[in-house]
Amino acid sequence: MKIKSMLCISLLAASAGMMLPMTQAQAQAVVGIRIAPPAPRMERIPPQARGYAWSPGYWNYSGHRYVWVPGRSIRVKHGYRNYAAPVWRQDRHGNWVRQEGGWRR
């Protein structure tokens, strides 16, 4: 009987620990790159279907070189005015940092 009681208490304590709210770890790494990105490529923008906008292409850094990400049609978000493309900016230390694009109000 004593073993059953101990087992019940142990299981109850373990299950209580599992019910604690889980938090997500949120880490944002900012990587500074010493080499400037190439100039944006010229893209032919196709006519957009109703409810779609053009998201221009941009250079992404893959860890050892820049890789072109082509532009694409994206669905317009209700309540937002325009889409800002990702841009590269030089920080105060001379590193190049990409600022994410997205919908702006």
Instruction: Give average pLDDT by consecutive 10-residue segment, the chain, 105 residues.
Output: 55 48 51 90 96 96 96 95 93 95 93
Q: What is the pLDDT of residue 31?
A: 63
HEC readout, the chain: CHHHHHHHHHHHHHHHHHCCCCCCCCCCCCCCECCCCCCCCCCCCCCCCCCEEEECCEEEECCCCEEEECCEEEECCCCCCEEECCEEEECCCCCEEEECCEEEC
Over the stretch 52-77, which tens digit does the pLDDT of each residue have?
999 999 999 999 999 999 999 999 99
Q: What is the pLDDT of residue 2?
A: 63
Q: What is the pLDDT of residue 32?
A: 74
Which candidate, 34, 41, 26, places its Cα nearest to that of 97?
A: 34
